[in-house]
């Protein structure tokens, strides 16, 4: 199945329409840094959460992850993974929110949602609902990275849809089968 841009569309593996040929294998490596990088400013819809990050290789060369897992598919996330030290949360500020370690822990603006084995906190704006980035829960990110890439480093999954002035057509999308990777399997309970 393709869209008008001749790219494979997202299939829902839970309803039997899963097409394994359009998705990369669950284990994939994040790209290695190059001599070039790009810096981007981003924010949620209402502007209560603002951040910037630098990424290498530059965004126009970086394989942007389009994941079909239960949370990425629902949020429409397109993800890149800058190093933690290259990510700056500008708003809310650490001083204003009483942040521990630079994150708005239990703050007024920045919420977090975890599910399954709770290795990732999917951050969202409590005002407008946007999902700008995630944080890997301390004690789990090392194991996550060992499973996902050749070199272990602390990363921040960033939803590029939050980038100011983003040209979606210029992105190099890489489809990843997060549905099969997720453990435990997502199941909505009554």
Q: 47: phi > 0 → left, psi -120 to 50 → alpha, else beta; which?
A: left
d(CA 77, CA 124): 12
Read off the pTM: 0.76
Could you report the per-residue pLDDT of 71-104, keeping only the tens digit for each? 999 999 999 999 889 999 998 865 544 444 444 5
Q: What domains are defined for the chain?
A: 32-94+104-179 (2.170.150.70)
Q: Are strands 78-80 and 158-159 parallel, antiparallel or unpaired?
A: antiparallel
CA nearest neighbour of 34 among 56, 55, 53: 56
d(CA 27, CA 144): 11
At residue 124 the predicted structure's pLDDT band, cuts being 50, 70 and 90, is: very high
């Amino acid at each position: 199945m393709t869209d008008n841009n001749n790219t494979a569309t997202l299939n829902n593996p839970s309803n039997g329409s899963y097409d394994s040929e359009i998705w990369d294998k669950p284990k994939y490596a994040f790209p290695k840094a190059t001599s070039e990088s790009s810096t981007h400013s981003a924010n949620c819809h209402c502007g209560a959460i603002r951040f910037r990050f630098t990424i290498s290789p530059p965004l126009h060369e970086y394989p942007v992850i389009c994941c079909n897992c239960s949370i990425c598919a629902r949020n429409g996330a397109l993800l890149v993974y800058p190093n933690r030290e290259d990510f700056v949360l500008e708003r809310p500020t650490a001083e204003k929110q009483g942040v521990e370690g630079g994150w708005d822990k239990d703050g007024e603006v920045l919420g977090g949602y975890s599910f399954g084995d709770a290795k990732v906190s999917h951050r969202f704006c409590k005002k407008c609902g946007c999902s700008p980035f995630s944080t890997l829960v301390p004690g789990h990110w090392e194991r996550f990275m060992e499973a996902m890439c050749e070199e272990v480093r602390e990363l921040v999954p960033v939803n590029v849809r939050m980038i100011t002035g983003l040209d979606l057509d210029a992105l190099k999308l890489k489809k990843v089968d997060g549905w099969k990777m997720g453990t435990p399997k997502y199941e909505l309970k009554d």
